[in-house]
Amino acid sequence: MGKARYKTLVDAIATEINEGRLLPGARLPTHREFAAKHGLALVTATRVFSELEAMGLVSGEVGRGTFVRDISLPSGHGIDQQDLVAAGTVDLNFNYPSLPGQTDTLRQALRQLASSGDLEAALRYQPHGGRPIERAAVARHLERSGLKVEGANVLIVNGAQHGLTVAVMALLKPGDVVAVDALTYPGFKVLAEVHRLELVPVPASSTGPDLDALERLCAKRRIRAIYAMPTMHNPLGWVTHIEWRERLVAIVRKHGLLIIEDAAYAFLANDPPPPLAALAPETTVYVSGLSKSVATGLRFGFASAPLKWIPAMERAIRATTWNTPGVITAMACGWLDDGTVARLEEEKRQDAMLRQTIATEMLSGMSFVRHPSSYFLWLPLETEVRADLVAMALMREGISVSTSEPFATSSHSTQAIRLALGSVDIPKLRAALETVKRVIHHQLYL
């Protein structure tokens, strides 16, 4: 078949969808049925469907078929669409947890900083990875979190996302293959796309990523690194047990991999097993920050790595932001040392537990995946219910949620929504979760 006919078929179906003649949720013929109907080779029919999916008009689901998407909901709606959350919308899409009194804590810190004798130093360029005194403060904080390192192993960065960027820029190169969970943090997906990394998904088991599957993957492919969230996985809330972590480290050492450990939400887990960086310090970059434990606007993060990687990571900091802002760094390190961060972490653990209790009450009768002290909840949908239609119906009710699409690293995303519980007050959360349940039930019985 010539290219013109292939394009004509794509354009014809796209027009039917855009003009509303093919409605959201409509099931398209199978690839084989489509090929037979139009007299095509199966590979050409598959190409037509692939182009429609790339255009954001349809989505394919393993074992179910190909369905028309609700095109009023942007492709990839979720964690990477923050600008779509309009004023007045109840935000169950993004987590920016804040506690009463945090603004007073900020005012007090600014007053203390203003009266300090070292204020002028905060106005000058800082060393790329932070001053030794500040790196030592972070090292003390990490030791309280179960990771004993020296200040020389620590780099101060502009938030955890910047820490991930620094690790990727310094240690990986375009074309490298990185093993990731089948559902993973969307920010790392974006980072991999920008730096042209190939992500290969590791399916889930009942207790976390399937390490047997990872072993098979390493036997087939030349894996360079693994990106992992062993403590408070986003979006599933896993806290993997010590035996899982020890086996992962054994696989990493056997195949010569490096680990990028994302601990952005790890503070929410009470007494978790040691981080991977404590079990395999020679091959792990540990990344976290204060965005969730203190405030998203703070943009203070840190990375811990083997000394052999520090110079390359410092160059990556220089190439991106040069250094962290001196004022923010001084204030954040003061909070690390005076116990403010530890206090806020404990208070937010309690806050997250309360919100999960409310979610359990309001979503009674529904199945979901979560950790009891996490700020998010994963809600798989019944076979008959489509996530994009649920998300769009909730948007019309003034509630923003994420579908599974931004988190999926395989070619077909599951039908599920992720609920961020940490960004609205308790009465609004109760009302919003009640609406979520009602809308899903309505979609089930349409």
Q: Which of 57, 75, 72 lies closest to 15 in space, CA to CA?
A: 57
Query: If you average pLDDT over every residue of the chain, what do you get?
Result: 90
Is the CB of residue 17 less than 8 Å from the CB of residue 71? yes
329-355 pLDDT, tens per residue? 999 999 999 999 999 999 999 999 999
What's the pLDDT band for 1 if we cut at 50, 70, 90? very low
Query: Which pLDDT does position 47 carry in this prediction?
Result: 86
Q: Quick one: pLDDT at residue 446?
A: 63
Average pLDDT over residues 134-142: 97
Residue-wise pLDDT for 396-433, tens only, equals 999 999 999 999 998 776 899 999 999 999 999 999 99
Q: Where are the alpha helices (DSSP H) in 229-309?
A: 242-255, 276-279
- pLDDT score, position 171: 98
Residue 310 host element (H or E): helix 310-320
**What is the mean pLDDT of the segment spanning 237-251?**
97
Rg of the chain in Å (alpha carbons): 23
- Per-residue pLDDT at 395: 92
Residue 61 has pLDDT above 90, yes or no: no
Measured distance CA(231)–CA(240) in Å, rounded: 7
Check whether 233 has a pLDDT greater than 80: yes
SS3 assignment, position 315: helix
pLDDT of 203 > 80? The answer is yes
Which pLDDT belongs to residue 383?
Answer: 78
Distance of CA 73 to the CA centre of its chain: 20
The yes-or-no verdict on residue 2 having pLDDT over 50 is no
Answer yes or no: is pLDDT of 116 > 80: no
| pLDDT reported for residue 331 | 92
pLDDT at residue 40 greater than cutoff 90: no
